[in-house]
Amino acid sequence: METTTKGFKKTGTVVAVIVYCLLILWTLVNLFPIYWMFTFSLKSNDEIYGQNIIGLPHKFLWENYKTAAHTGRMGLYFTNSVIIAVATIILTLIAAVMATYAMSRIVWKGRKLMNKFFMLGLTIPIHSSIVPVYITLKKLGMLNSYQALIVPYAAFSLAMAILICMGFMDDIPIQLDEAARIDGCGLWGTFFRIIVPLMLPALSTVGIYTFLQCWNEFMFANVFNTKEFIRTLPVGIQQLSGQHTTQWGPIGAALVIATFPTLFVYMLLSKKIQSSFMAGAIKG
């Protein structure tokens, strides 16, 4: 803003004050519920219900965390969610990069149409396919396994992943392909030697979008898995809060256990996460 001419400085500060007020207000709106969740996870019902609604806990009740960890296996659910998210991201990525290569680098009739076909996936609600997918999974003997969630999640993330990969792949100069051809690489050689390594920046971008898709999903996770050892976080939380409806402390503790690892990783990697997310927006 150094270039602002002198005459503009005054309005500049007024605007800046308004802008900061807006930003700080929205920051509070964002942080307050999280702060509240954290504090009530350490309080007794008496404090939550009236004596001390928004302050820091008078007495820190760490037992709430013990209760939450005891009734629900939050650690297990968390691990399951992470395994499923990571595997989904990998599967999505493999399928998306390969498909994108076929549609953007190899010239053939109908490749544009094929791309449009995949883009249909952007608009399909995940819940609309629950029973047919259930029946298919059953026929393949895949119910009650990690794949029961990984495969559908990957399929529903695919459209977005292809959209992003298209953006990234278009940025790779076609001359590199041609050079590889001259060196005697075939389509596959070019793909593995040139395209895959150069597509690595897309990895984190696709990863973020896919993560958002499968980290939150509840309905499939609830219906396709009945075994506790593969229960995911949203299902675990929902079940747990059904069990402690009236003891808010342990629910709060469970919510915190489920949230803070994500937020912590996010704080460490926020710059990277944001820039990949943004990259997706621009390339997509």
Q: Scanning residues 123 to 182, which ones bind another protein (CB under 8 A)?
A: 123-136, 138, 142-147, 150-152, 154-156, 158, 162
Q: 83, 41, 45: which is closest to 260 by C-alpha?
A: 41
Q: According to the binding rule CB under 8 A, does residue 282 interact with another protein?
A: yes
Q: What are phi and psi of 251, to 5 degrees?
A: -65, -45
Q: According to the binding rule CB under 8 A, does residue 29 interact with another protein?
A: yes
Q: Scanning residues 74 to 133, which ones bind another protein (CB under 8 A)?
A: 83, 87, 90-91, 94-96, 98-99, 101-103, 106, 108, 114, 118, 120-133
Q: Tokens 């999280």 label which residue?
A: 34
Q: Scanning residues 235 to 274, which ones bind another protein (CB under 8 A)?
A: 235, 237-239, 241-246, 248, 251-252, 255, 258-259, 262-263, 266-267, 270-271, 273-274
Angle between helices 200-215 and 74-104 (to 10 degrees): 130
Give the number of C-alpha atoms closer than 13 A to the C-alpha of residue 29, restricted to the C-beta side. 6
- Given candidates 63, 69, 71, 176, which one binds another protein under the rule CB under 8 A? 71
Rounded least distance, CB 143 to another protein, Å: 6
- Given candidates 73, 76, 82, 222, which one binds another protein under the rule CB under 8 A? 222
Per-position DSSP letters for 118-129, written without gaps between them: HHGGGG--GGGG
Q: 122, 118, 88: which is closest to 100 by C-alpha?
A: 118
| Rounded Cα gap, residues 97 and 99, in angstroms | 6
- Contacting range for another protein; rule: CB under 8 A; set: 24-32, 59-67, 168-176, 177-185: 24-32
